[in-house]
Amino acid sequence: MDPNQKVAEQEALEQLDPLASVPTFQGALGRLIGGIDTLFTVLAVLALVAIAGTVLLQISARLFLPFSVSWTEELSRYLFIYMVAMSVGVVLRQHRNVSVELFHHTLGLRARAAFQALICLLIAGFAWMVLPHAWQYAMNGAWQTSPTLRVPMLYIFFSTVVMFVLLLAYGAIGFLEGLVAIFRSPERPDTEKP
């Protein structure tokens, strides 16, 4: 790839997402985190595909069968809950969550890294505080079953634990990446010198 094209792509990405200029971990640790990102992305996509299949089955049953399949609505709801829970960490890491970007583009690289570190610290702190309560909530489902599928609700309620564990882990990763970027990176690393 042409170095000028790479710089142009980086600048275009910065205009769309200013926090994307904060460098991520590289090397073995970066590959490990990337592999975990891929795993949770694949799981979330599989849940989305299963939702689509479940809804198509529900529609087909209503149109072509003399009876409706009652468990499809419940299954699609549970798949949606797990899809969100499994994708929340990757969404945080890729800065794809809903945010208000009023001033990010005016910040330098170190200020963007500090902003990312602060936001990720707040998210991880919130997840740390809520995690014990999410565990208690999940344990409430130990003696309940879902109405049509007869699945123990522990498995459904456990999605809150998964979500807050992933928020805690990815918040910590984002915080550490922000700290490393504050102390190690120059102000504009995206300009290559020939």
Choice among 26-30, 70-74, 103-107 with the minimum mean pLDDT: 103-107
What pLDDT digit, counting tens, does each position of 83-129 carry?
999 999 999 998 877 766 777 777 888 888 898 999 999 999 999 99
Q: Work out the percent of the chain whose per-residue pLDDT is above 70.
A: 84
Around Cβ 172, how many Cβ atoms within 10 Å?
16
pTM of the model: 0.82
> In whole angstroms, how far apart are CA 155 and each of 21, 50, 51, 144?
38, 17, 17, 10
Backbone angles phi, psi at 181, to 5 degrees: -65, -35
CB 181 within 8 A of CB 113: yes
Please tell me the predicted confidence (pLDDT) of residue 24: 82
Residue 187 has pLDDT above 60, yes or no: no
CB 144 within 8 A of CB 152: yes
